[in-house]
Structure 1
Amino acid sequence: MHGVTMLKRIVFLAALSTLTVLIGCNSGGASIYYIQGFNVLSDGPPLSFRQDGLTISNGLPYGTSSGFLPGTIVGSKRIEIQPVLADLSLGDPLIDTNVDVSKDIETSLIVAGNFDDPELIVVTTDRRKRPISEIFFQFVHAVNAQDALDVYVAAPDVDLSTTAPFATIEKFEFTASMLIPFGEYVISVTPAGNPGQVLYVSDLLTFVDIPEIDFDGVEWLVAIADNFSIGDSSLRLLVSSENGGFALDAAGTGAALRITNASPDAPALDTFLDEDFSAPLTSNTGYADRSPVTPIPAAVATVSVTETGTVDPILHEYDREYLQSTVFDSILVRDVAEMTNLTFGGNPRSVVTDGKMRFANVSTEASFVSVYLADSGTSDLDEDDLIVRDLPFPASTDYLRLLPGEYSLIITERSTTENETVIIGPIPYEFLGGEVQTGLIILPESGGDEEVLMVYDDLLP
């Protein structure tokens, strides 16, 4: 009997919780406010947002927003924003201040600037009736080294010199949330008063009014931010919307490819894109060398590999899709007769609190490798120090977030039947905040079957 009673209570409380959320969409007499975090800290890690000690979001990655959470007690709130460090502990507060929240007002807490000089931008907007059936844009200037900006939301191919800007925004300020009609638009950003110097232009954005439905609108909060991705534009738009956050890259932004030669018996290599053999995409990449980061279209493409200076025979050829604003690393592995590739994407943004490294096992002699990161001077293997377990050949980890400091690095190998054997180390290794690296577990250039660790700086072009 008690079990049945408890079940009824749980259902009733859940119903009340649902009712509270529904009331929040049209609060009437209730004092409902809405609050969200938005991480635009240029060189910062994920962030923890709290109000009066309660979590708004914990571990919010760069370029994303938490979405609005409703609250029922308006007034002054203590806002604490802390970095989430590589060991998942919270660092000292970057922001510790009071912010007023009001009935039927959306409050966005945008952390901009850089880690050593963060800036809290508090954006407030009237809460609109749901569902959203019109188009609303609101812009925030979150660019570190740029004075006032003009923003244009205009028809394609419009002459900016004869068009009034949608808004002019001072650094770390924001516009009102403004209505625009359904239609086709391009967003352009220039220095204030200088329409001839275009810093950013978007692809074509199309908003279609569908009479049969009443939720075809959008409400975008758009942070104009520094571009840490690829492409020619210095700016990138980071969008917070009711349907989630996303980035708007500048028009024409493609992908990029970097080739590494890890084929033990291969000569220096050239690569060609989409069977265009008139000029190599990358050239003369010797063993254990990397090519420069080379722009390519964001599309499905074919990469052909040949000996440097030749177009025939093709030693290896492969297809894959290359995504916009992503740097792809393609590592050529195995001997020439069996050459294949290990290709993976990433975006190596520098984070001042992290030493970031990804490991790739490209040694034909190492079936499975594990990586230990121990206190400096340590030579023993300890499960607590294990950061990569049984990475097969050929494979790569994602970027690992590591606390800056001095360590003892040990790499082991095992086959499917053998015990773990140390193949590299212990070696002293220091991770510095802001570094982004790739470590290849690879056979040495001089030949032999004892692996070495080759470390590459992923922030180099």
Structure 2
Amino acid sequence: MKKLTSYILLLLAPLALTGCWLDDDDDKDVVTVTVFHTSADAPAVNVRLGDEVVVTNADFKQSASTRVSGTRNLFVDARLPDGQTLEVLGPATIMADAENVDAYDVFAIGQVGNDTLEALVISDDLERMDADSVRLRVAHLASAAPAVDVYVTAPDADLAAASPTLTFSYKTVTDALEVPAGDYRVRVTAAGQSDVLFDSGTVPLASGADLLIAAVDNTNHGDAPISLLVESEGTTTELVDADAGAGLRAVHNAYDAPAVDIYLGGITGAPAIAGLSFPDAAPGPDLGDYASVAAGTTDVAITATGDTNAVVQGSFELGNGMAYTVLAANALADIELLPFTDDARSVATEARLRVIHGAGQAPNVDVYLTAQGSGGIGNASPVLSDVPFGASSCFLAVAEGDYDVYVTVAGTGTVAIGPIPVTLSNGGVYTAIAREASDFGSSGSFTVTGLDDLASPSAP
């Protein structure tokens, strides 16, 4: 087996890739280049060959491949929230004429926030000893994780009786190894330690597979410092720690409902959350305030505090490693549960803002962000249009700054909420939930509940 070659190239340093195509006369002088986005706090990127954009909007944990002939310069451009792009890696001069190299993997690693972003480039000859085996390469790309021991074993193997399959540190990519097809389990410990930091559970590996497995910084729910990206034939999937569980946060968003108790898995025993009042969140409104619950199908029931009769209930499928915010929303007579998937990943070059329409008594709305103190929406265009009750914007990339938030009746410019002054900072994660005001019964007015980095107890 020929050795894989690897080298580190610093941000903005010249990068030279050399490669040649397989022994196929029709594809002579062609190299495959796969670019992986593995920097947890970096924005989405474009990949260019000269002035030609060949990959658009690749986000963290995504990869994309392109075929290159001749000599070309490769660049990676960060996508900024104002629509502009900024060249952050390159130029990489690709010359498709080197021997014994059939593919290159280019990883964007490190962190933007501490100025350690760089490129790790790996060449591969694609050779294998057995066509029916599983060919593996393993990469440590998690900048926040220590040097590790990796155990690749049968699913039921006793770790205490096993020896590490691999021991390596950040920026290391192993040579290829081949194992028989079958079911395996990947467990990771800090080098020389016995406590398991990551456990994949049972993973089936198919005959003939050629896999690149990369450890990246964990941005999911759970205590594991890493998750694993598995790339095969241009498709990347993620393995989350088998014991991660799910994160759950509840928000009382029903303006005329009393304080409530929340039960998980049936109304028996003590409630998971007791005495939650409008418009509070539990376990809390701040970023990372979640109760850890088992992944899988979960029954949620809400009762008036001290009662055992459900006011509303529902069944939700909670993904392992995922986090959720569930609203009890609308008027009491029509109360319903609205689940939303959360994403707490911080991006160093942008603020991330999510707006949820949780006001059941309001029509569809438009949402505006204007310069703070500008005195109204003027001729501004909405950042969100015609949003119905129960809908979420997901997380939008927003330039940092001081803004006024206005929520208007869709298509009319009639202000229903605002101005609400907010300061959005790069790296921040913000959630704004439109709701009825506490005195809605008499005033008919609406306001906003802030969660995550927008958590604000002062809204009425």
User: Do both proteins adopt the same fold according to a TM-score greater than 0.5, normalized to the shorter chain?
Assistant: yes
In 2: Cα distance, 1:324 partner to 1:247 partner: 11
The Cα shift of 1:368 comes to 1.4
State the Cα RMSD in Å.
Answer: 2.6
Structure 1 residues 319 and 148, CA gap change in structure 2 (3 angstroms): closer
Secondary structure at 2:333 match in 1: helix
Aligned to 2:104: 107
In 2: Cα distance, 1:88 partner to 1:134 partner: 46
In 2: Cα distance, 1:274 partner to 1:427 partner: 38
Select 1:257's aligned residue among 248, 251, 254: 248
Deviations 1:332-377 (A, max 9, x none): 1122222112212132211111211111122233111111122343
Deviations 1:139-184 (A, max 9, x none): 1111213342222211123344543322222221210122111122
Partner amino acid, structure 2, of 1:233:
A
Secondary structure at 2:196 match in 1: coil
Secondary structure at 1:288 match in 2: coil
In 1: Cα distance, 2:264 partner to 2:131 partner: 45
Residues 53-68 of structure 1: matches in 2 within 5 Å? Answer: 53-66=51-64, 68=65
Select 2:232's aligned residue among 237, 241, 254: 241
The answer as to 2:185 corresponding to 1:186 is yes
Aligned to 1:387: 383
Aligned to 2:348: 352
The answer as to 2:297 corresponding to 1:300 is yes
Aligned to 1:212: none
Deviations 1:201-226 (A, max 9, x none): 11101235xxxxxxx42221111111
Structure 1 residues 99 and 270, CA gap change in structure 2 (3 angstroms): farther
The answer as to 2:363 corresponding to 1:333 is no
Partner amino acid, structure 2, of 1:88:
G
The Cα shift of 1:252 comes to 2.4
Structure 1 residues 459 and 186, CA gap change in structure 2 (3 angstroms): farther
The Cα shift of 1:25 comes to 6.5
Partner amino acid, structure 2, of 1:296:
V
The Cα shift of 1:57 comes to 1.8
Residues 178-327 of structure 1: matches in 2 within 5 Å? Answer: 178-194=177-193, 196-208=194-206, 216-242=207-233, 244-292=235-283, 293-310=290-307, 312-327=308-323
Aligned to 1:84: 79
The Cα shift of 1:301 comes to 2.2
Partner amino acid, structure 2, of 1:295:
S
In 2: Cα distance, 1:220 partner to 1:452 partner: 50
In 2: Cα distance, 1:132 partner to 1:56 partner: 32
Partner amino acid, structure 1, of 2:43:
P
Partner amino acid, structure 1, of 2:171:
F
Aligned to 2:451: 456
The answer as to 2:388 corresponding to 1:410 is no
Structure 1 residues 372 and 180, CA gap change in structure 2 (3 angstroms): same
The Cα shift of 1:305 comes to 0.4
Aligned to 2:436: 443
Unaligned runs of 5+ in 1: 1-22, 209-215
Residues 32 and 70 of structure 1 are in contact (CA less than 8 Å); yes or no, is this contact kept in structure 2?
A: yes
Aligned to 2:166: 167
Deviations 1:56-107 (A, max 9, x none): 42211100111x3222226xx5442221112332124255555666354211
In 2: Cα distance, 1:91 partner to 1:449 partner: 46
The answer as to 2:394 corresponding to 1:401 is no
Aligned to 2:175: 176
Unaligned runs of 5+ in 2: 1-19, 284-289, 456-460
Aligned to 1:122: 121
In 1: Cα distance, 2:79 partner to 2:404 partner: 24
The Cα shift of 1:391 comes to 1.2
Structure 1 residues 100 and 173, CA gap change in structure 2 (3 angstroms): farther
Residues 48 and 55 of structure 1 are in contact (CA less than 8 Å); yes or no, is this contact kept in structure 2?
A: yes
In 1: Cα distance, 2:400 partner to 2:433 partner: 20
The Cα shift of 1:41 comes to 0.5
Alignment length, in residue pairs? 422
In 1: Cα distance, 2:92 partner to 2:248 partner: 44
Partner amino acid, structure 1, of 2:116:
D
Residues 144-163 of structure 1: matches in 2 within 5 Å? Answer: 144-163=143-162
Partner amino acid, structure 2, of 1:200:
F
TM-score (normalizing by structure 2):
0.84
Aligned to 1:69: 66
In 1: Cα distance, 2:273 partner to 2:212 partner: 40
TM-score (normalizing by structure 1):
0.84
Moved more, 88-97 or 140-149: 88-97
Aligned to 2:359: 363
In 1: Cα distance, 2:377 partner to 2:195 partner: 58
Aligned to 1:8: none
Partner amino acid, structure 2, of 1:451:
F
Identity, % of aligned positions: 26
Secondary structure at 2:270 match in 1: coil
Partner amino acid, structure 1, of 2:156:
D
The Cα shift of 1:431 comes to 1.2
Structure 1 residues 170 and 393, CA gap change in structure 2 (3 angstroms): closer
Deviations 1:295-343 (A, max 9, x none): 2222222211012233x22111112322222212111112222211221
Structure 1 residues 38 and 438, CA gap change in structure 2 (3 angstroms): same
Aligned to 1:431: 424
Residues 21 and 102 of structure 2 are in contact (CA less than 8 Å); yes or no, is this contact kept in structure 1?
A: no
